[in-house]
Amino acid sequence: MSEGEAQYAVVVDNGPTIEPYFNETWGACPSTMAADQQEELRTMAMESLKCCGFTTGVFHVELKYTSRGPRLIEINARMGGGQVRKTHLEVYGIDLVEETLFSCVGIPNRPPADLSRPLCALAYNYVNAPQSGRVESLAALAQLRRLPGVVYAKGLVKAGELVVGPSDGLPTWLADIMVEKKPVPGDAITSTDAEEVLQSVLALSESLSIPIR
């Protein structure tokens, strides 16, 4: 947002959380939602920021598209955490850290992104612990890293660490996996590609064997 107007506003899909703890799971970009729904979400995000008096900066606005249309969850007056920076950098070539610095020193934000031509389709997933116990090994992540399309497969715990499963409390994140698909020369990335990489990262996560005893 710069000078009171949106200069770059992108919808990134988020998957269902693990209830009742609302623990995050997956994300995908570009969005697989219908174009008109994405526009409704962007419009609500910008109107919400303006209602709060914001005019300049990088914002992470979370919304949910319901049976009654978009609903605001929260506004974060900062760049999103986790995979957010890398997602925007990989898919649209926009570095939100740079844009934040521009805002801080009074340089108008004019990110050169063509939202109609994503550079790739990308999806990521947090692997939540299925049960409580002690992690025996993370060796399986090394095998994932060698697969085509896998950007990274990061362990978020260490071997020997105690973790919590959903039956005992907020599940521990065991790993963070990201997958991407580059366009074939001459072709454009579409929401179908985003759905493809999403199914790929979910399948990889499901097949990941991290022994917990």
The C-alpha atoms of residue 69 and residue 67 are separated, in whole angstroms, by 6
Q: What is the pLDDT of residues 7-62, one digit of tens each?
A: 999 999 999 998 888 899 999 999 999 999 999 999 999 999 999 999 999 999 99
pLDDT tens across the length of the chain (213 residues): 999 999 999 999 999 998 888 899 999 999 999 999 999 999 999 999 999 999 999 999 999 999 999 999 999 999 999 999 999 999 999 999 999 999 999 999 999 989 999 999 999 999 999 999 999 999 999 999 999 999 999 999 999 999 999 999 999 999 999 999 999 888 999 999 999 999 999 999 999 999 999
* Residue 4 tokens, joined: 């009171």
Kindly report the length of the chain: 213
Query: Distances from the Cα of 76 to the Cαs of 108, 128, 192, 205, in angstroms?
Result: 20, 24, 29, 29
Q: Which residues pair with 7 in a beta bridge?
A: none
The C-alpha atoms of residue 43 and residue 21 are separated, in whole angstroms, by 29
Q: Which residues pair with 5 in a beta bridge?
A: 2
Q: Cβ(137)–Cβ(159) under 8 Å?
A: yes
93: left (phi over 0), alpha (psi -120 to 50) or beta: left
